[in-house]
Every structure is written in C-alpha cells, then in structure tokens.
Structure 1
Amino acid sequence: MRILFTAHAGKSHLRLLIPLAQAAVRAGHTVAVADDESMRGESETYGLAFFPAGVDWALDPDCVAAIAPGLWSGDQEAYEDGLVDCILGAPALRAARDIIAAAREWKPDLIVREGEEMGGYLAAEALGIPHVAVAGGSTHLLTPAVTHDRLNALRAELGLPGDPDDNTAYRHLLVSWLPASWTGDGLDGRTLRHYRQTTPFRGDDPVLPWLAGLPDDKPVVYASIGTIAPSLPGKSDGVLGAVIEALSGIDCTAVVSVGVGRDPEDFGPVPGHVRLVTEWVPQDVLLEAADVFITHGGHSGIREGLRSGTPMLVTPMYDDQPHSAERCAALGCAIDLPAPFADAEAVTAAVTALLTDPAYRRRAAAVRREILACPPVERLVADLEELVAATRTSAEEASCVS
C-alpha cells in the first residue's frame, strides 16, 4: 500500500501525522509527504520521501490578508472566520493541483491528511482513491454545515461533480488521537474513531543527560509555547516573561523552552532553579518527568500533555488554543488562564494549585487511562488496509457491472 500524507506547513502540523506514517512504514507500506517546500527538511528528518505541494500560509498573500487582522487585533471570531476562508479557499485548490501532479507519478492508494488540509481531500476525490483525515486543532470548526457547499465549489473548479454527501470531507474515516471525553460532540461522529497516540521518532532527537541530574526533592515544572508562537514575540514574550517570573518565586525545578535560537539574556537574570532552553528538545520526554506542564495550548502540546497524564496550565493566545484550553479545563486536568490575564501573580496561583491540589493529577491520570484504552496505531494501519481493499473491490465490481 502506498500512502501519501498531506499537511499545512508547520512542524507541529506534520507531527500530527508522523505516528501513523511511521507505523505504516513498520508494517511494510510505502509512505511519502506532500507539503510546502519549507517542510522538506522536517519530513526527511523523519525519514520520509517528500513532494512539494501547496503554500506556506505565513507567506501567502491570500492567507495573510484573511488571518492577520483577527490575529493581531485579538478578535478570535474574525480570526476563525479568516482561517476557514483559507482552509476552504484558493490555497486548498492550489495544494490539490500540486498533489494531483505528484500523485499521477507516485500513484498512492490512499491519502491521509491533516483535518484542516483540504487539498488532500480534493486530490483524492479527483484521483478516485479514499482519503482519511486526522483531526487537528481546528478541525472542530469544519463541520459538514461549514464545509459542504464550499467543498462542492472547489470540486467544480477541478471538474468534479457536486457531492450530495454532507460528510464528504470525512466520508471514509476521521481519526482522533484524543479521547472521546475531550472531543465531545465537537467532531462529526459518523466516521469518527479514536486511536492511541504514540511518540514520533526523529533522526535528530537529542539526548538530555542533564535530566537525570535534576533535584529529587522538588517538583518539576516544564513550560513551552511551542514552535510557532516564539516567532510572534509580540504575542508570546509577555506570557514567557510572566511564567519565568512566577517560576522564579516557586519552590520547584523549572525548565522553560523559550524558543529555538533565542538569547536567554532577552529574559533577564534567572535563579539557579530555572533553566531556560533555547534548543529543540523532545517535549514528550520532558513531560514524562514533569509534575506540571505550562503550555500555550497548541494541539501538539495538548495531545502530549494528556498522553503523559501531566496536569496543565494552559495560556491560550489564538487559533485553536482557546478551544483546547476550555476542553482541558472542563475535564478537570488543567487550568485555563488566557494570555491577556497571565501575569506573574496569576501564573503563580495557578501553578501552586496544580502542584498542591491532588484532584488535577487524578483527573489527568484518568484522561491518560482513557487514551491508553483506545486501539493502538497498528490497529489504525490495519483499518487503512481494509479501507483500501474494500475500495478496490468496489471499483472492480463496478467495472464488471459496466
């Protein structure tokens, strides 16, 4: 089986798909990634073949015009409207045409896409092969009521007939790495299945020898605002500063990822129990060692925090982050502290509560057990094999009838 994976440019977006891609390789299947050229190196770090397709939203004029005003003004509703316009607009069509061109040579049997990446859906429909979506942070915005008419308009641009099925984007399978208690009724349930997430392996995963030397008489607090937010210091540095100030006054061992390549001196002097990290680190490893996780609420951080059973302080800024923070708080395993209110005093109070109230750890452990109870990623690979086999059988039967 040949599987083509498609995503929007961004390390965390691609990381959403990697556990499945690597499991498919282990099962003997052939795998490749189609994404913006900027993601070639990241794809190859995971050992995957690469085809350039689509655009980098941060550089695309249509996307910038749609998303930037809401992002910078803090108008979440306007931002989400602009995001949906991009997902279901011209960028998806451009990606679809690139994916179709690559697929005609590579000949995939199946396309697996990030839930918000509709170019892969359009390409699969044009090629007559099945498609599977893996739910990302903003997939909950893409209900059939939102996607149906707009996808049909994009289909027409490719010469495809309109699809009467309102679940067309998720017709075959919608995968979630998060448990049913987290997704609730925010995703279309007709083809939704939950699977147990695993940790992707990168060829350049660093070793962390200093981790073993952390004091054993203090709780460990790990803080990170992901891979994208540090590129927006106007959005992120206020939160980082408040977190560092708060952790400086808490009796703990603190590890704070401030962004790859950042200068620690930008954040002023810190006490000895606070470690500022400026290189990429395997977050899942640090979470296994942490008692509390401070995160901006990106989808990767939320998935990995829930998977490790680590109580979280979520400081959402934009995009899917407010929704994720609300869901985690509703489950009782996190405190939702929106970035505008995340000053040092508020962060201190929240971290203290997470460290001292055992209810947060109990709820985090319960959610982790729910994740562990989901079918493994190997079962998902087998389900994809069955989907492709069934599609081939249907095509053969239709050919015989005609």
Structure 2
Amino acid sequence: MALRIAITAEPVPSHVSALDYVIGPALEQGHRVALHAPPMFRLEARRRGVEFHRAGSDWTCDPAVQQEASEIWKEYGNASFNRHVFGRLWPDQAERKARDLIAAWTRTRPDLVIAECSDLGAHLAARVLHLPLLAADNGLGPLLLELWDTDVVPALAPLHDRYGQDVPVLPPMLTPAPLPWFHAAPPPSAHAVRRTVASFRTAEPDRRGRASSSSRPLVYVSLGTLTTAMAGLRSVVGGAYREITAALSDIGCEAIVSAGRLAEDLHSADPRITVVEHAPQPALLHRADLFVTHGGRASLLDAVQGATPLLGMGVLADQPGNTAAFTRRGLGRALELTATRDEIAEAMTAVLGDPRHAAAMNTARTTLSRLPPLDIAQLYDHAQAPVRLG
C-alpha cells in the first residue's frame, strides 16, 4: 500500500542530507513523499524528487540569532550554547512551525509523519491532528534527551497547554547508526536502521586533488557547513583551518580542504593542497586516507562508510561528544579546535601511521552495513500506537 509520508526538516544546511536514510527508502518503496521545511530546502527537495511545502522560516540564517549564539559559545562554552539553542531558540520557533503544519496537514492529511527529532513544532502539529508520528534522529537525539527534562519541556509546556496537549515527550526515534555509538543510555523506543545516502552525493569528484600515480596519502578536511555559515564563528573556525592547512603542508600529503564561505579567504601556496567551497564528501571519503572533521554525526557516518580514519576537532553542539566517542572506539584521534599546527601535524601523522585505526573503521563499516533496512509499511503499523520514551 502506497502511503502519503510527510517528512519535516529544520533550517540547518546539512539537515535534509541527514534525512536521506528516510527519504530514499520511502521513495524506493513507492510511497508519496512530501518535505515540509523552510524555504532554504526547496532545491534539496527538487534534487531528491519529492514534493516541497514551505513550513517554518529560515530563522537560523538571521544574523542576530547567529551572533548571539556565537557569543554565548565563545564566552560561556558549548554547554551554555546547547541550552540556549535547544532549550530556548528551538522551542521559541515551534509555534510558527506548528501553525504552518497544522494548516497544511488539515488540507492534505498524511498517513505518517516522520519529523526531525529536533522539530518540536512538527511533533506538536502531529499530535494535535492525531497523526502517526516518528522522529528521525538528525544527530541531535542524544543531546535532546540530555536537555529534555531540564530545558526543553519547561520551554515547550506553555505552548502545549495552549493546544490542549499533555506534557511534551519525544516520539519513538529512528537512527541510522548502532545506538551505543552515540547514546550512552539508548532510549527504549529508538530503532536503528540502515543508512543510505542520496545518489547525487556519491558521484565521484574530479581527481585534481590527487594524481593517480601519487604515493602520498590523501587527507580530506571539512569543519562543517554550519560553522562556516555563522559569522560569529568564522574567525575561530578560520583560525583552525589555517592551522590545519599549515600542518598539511608540514607533513607533505595531498589534501582537499572544503571550507564553505571561508574558502575564498583560505589560501595555501602548497600545490598539493586544494581549497574548495564544497566537495562531494561521501565519494571523497571512499578514497581518502584521513578525514579531519568537526564531528557532526552525518560526517562521522560518511567516514565509517568510507572506512576512513579520522582526526576529530569538535566545534559545537553534539560534535565534541561525538568525536570523543569515536576516539574511544579506536576510529581515530581527537584534538581541541584551538590545537596548533604542530599538534595537528603530529596527530595526523600518528593516525596515518597506525593501521589499527583503519582496521577499526573496517569493522565499524561492517557493523553499520548490517543494520536492518528501513521498512515504511512496518513503521506505519507500529506508529499507530507509539510507545513513549521512559
């Protein structure tokens, strides 16, 4: 039976890509998929061949919002940043998103809603309309669980009261990775499913970053899309990119550095180092020897699928915790974002020179590939009577 599936996303540049493990299987299984998301994702919906319906705003692109969040991160640290963003800003935006979705889903009622785990307005709208609801973990699931009772529920409670709803609870959650990789205490209703990536993101890039005859290792560097888009973080992240490129030159490897909006200001006289604004990351990580990453969940899983050891330099939100967890599993090393070129060069050399990291990545890739495929019809049956998180 073909179902009408409503998928929702919040305005963070990488978040639709993070939902490909839901979008792709839903389309392949013959369901009608509609993406309900802010305007910034209209092109992403077209690329994936799904309907697009505007819901919510591109509020994360507001310079004032970015500046305030950046200043909190720089002055008070990542824990305060997380409480500000996920305990205040996200709940503050939930009402507008809920209104848009209630209107859309009243006109055309979906059979199943699969909302980002951080899309609090979508969770509310589905409950108001008594729609089967699942959450798709975009990487923020563990962080939301950590802040749920102390920060998120108190901020959301007045809005839920206005709509006649009970105390907010997270819906049952899908996640595209083994639960222990990111959850210290996995929620009982979470369900791990196989990860897929949109086909256009796996196209092989040009090979200018590495001559086919080169015996030097290839290092791929990306500190994420959000960190380079936030004006208040650019100076800090730009400094990290400069230390990384200097270290790359010191160790004499080939490198592709994907630096987003910082690319035009990031230059290297070393011909072995190519700086670009964007790169086809999943494809590159199938031939890179080392990945220097900010530690976003999607990037880490790209590394696992490419069996590429990593050097994690977590920036914000879940990223420092993610890189620490992967380091404990032997999948690479971690450094502070403020590490010097000498520290970075030493860590790169250590990871490249230790075959145990590559072996651990190969084992992780096998584990990831053995997760069960996502079955939309089965999920629909289960979602008729969702189990609440304990």
Structure 1 and Structure 2 fold alike (TM over 0.5): yes
Whether 1:159 aligns to 2:164 is yes
Highest RCO, 1 vs 2 (Cα 8 Å, sep ≥ 6)? 2
1:235 is matched with: 236
Q: Which amino acid aligns with 2:336?
A: P
Q: Which amino acid aligns with 2:221?
A: A
How many residue pairs get aligned? The number is: 378
How far residue 346 of structure 1 moved from its aligned partner, in angstroms, is: 0.9
Q: Where does structure 1 lack aligned partners over 5 or more consecutive residues?
A: 393-402
Kindly, what percent of the aligned residue pairs are identical?
27
State how far apart, in whole Å, the 2-side matches of 1:183 and 1:203 are: 24
Deviations 1:182-230 (A, max 9, x none): 1243442x11111121111349967525468443412211111222222
SS in 1 for 2:59: coil
SS in 2 for 1:13: coil
SS in 1 for 2:311: strand
Check the 8 A contact 1:110/1:124 in 2, yes or no: no
1:198 is matched with: 196
Check the 8 A contact 1:63/1:86 in 2, yes or no: no
RMSD: 2.6
Report the CA distance shift for 1:356/1:64 in structure 2 as closer, same or farther (over 3 A). Answer: closer
SS in 2 for 1:288: coil
Q: Which amino acid aligns with 2:55?
A: A
Whether 1:374 aligns to 2:385 is no
Deviates more, 1:177-186 or 1:148-157: 148-157
State how far apart, in whole Å, the 2-side matches of 1:43 and 1:261 are: 26
Report the CA distance shift for 1:291/1:269 in structure 2 as closer, same or farther (over 3 A). Answer: closer
2:97 is matched with: 95
2:349 is matched with: 352
Check the 8 A contact 1:113/1:131 in 2, yes or no: yes
State how far apart, in whole Å, the 1-side matches of 2:59 and 2:185 are: 25
Whether 1:145 aligns to 2:139 is no
How far residue 94 of structure 1 moved from its aligned partner, in angstroms, is: 1.3
How far residue 126 of structure 1 moved from its aligned partner, in angstroms, is: 0.8
Q: Which amino acid aligns with 2:371?
A: C
Under a length normalisation based on structure 1, what TM-score does the superposition of the two structures give?
Answer: 0.86
State how far apart, in whole Å, the 2-side matches of 1:55 and 1:79 are: 21
State how far apart, in whole Å, the 2-side matches of 1:366 and 1:314 are: 19
Check the 8 A contact 2:91/2:120 in 1, yes or no: no
Q: Where does structure 2 lack aligned partners over 5 or more consecutive residues?
A: none
What is the 5 A alignment of 1:69-148? Answer: 69-73=71-75, 75-86=77-88, 89-143=91-145, 145-146=149-150, 147-148=152-153
State how far apart, in whole Å, the 2-side matches of 1:71 and 1:158 are: 33
State how far apart, in whole Å, the 2-side matches of 1:391 and 1:345 are: 55
SS in 1 for 2:225: coil
1:291 is matched with: 289
Match of 2:331 among 317, 333, 358: 333
1:362 is matched with: 359
State how far apart, in whole Å, the 2-side matches of 1:183 and 1:346 are: 27
How far residue 55 of structure 1 moved from its aligned partner, in angstroms, is: 2.5
1:67 is matched with: 69
Check the 8 A contact 1:137/1:324 in 2, yes or no: no
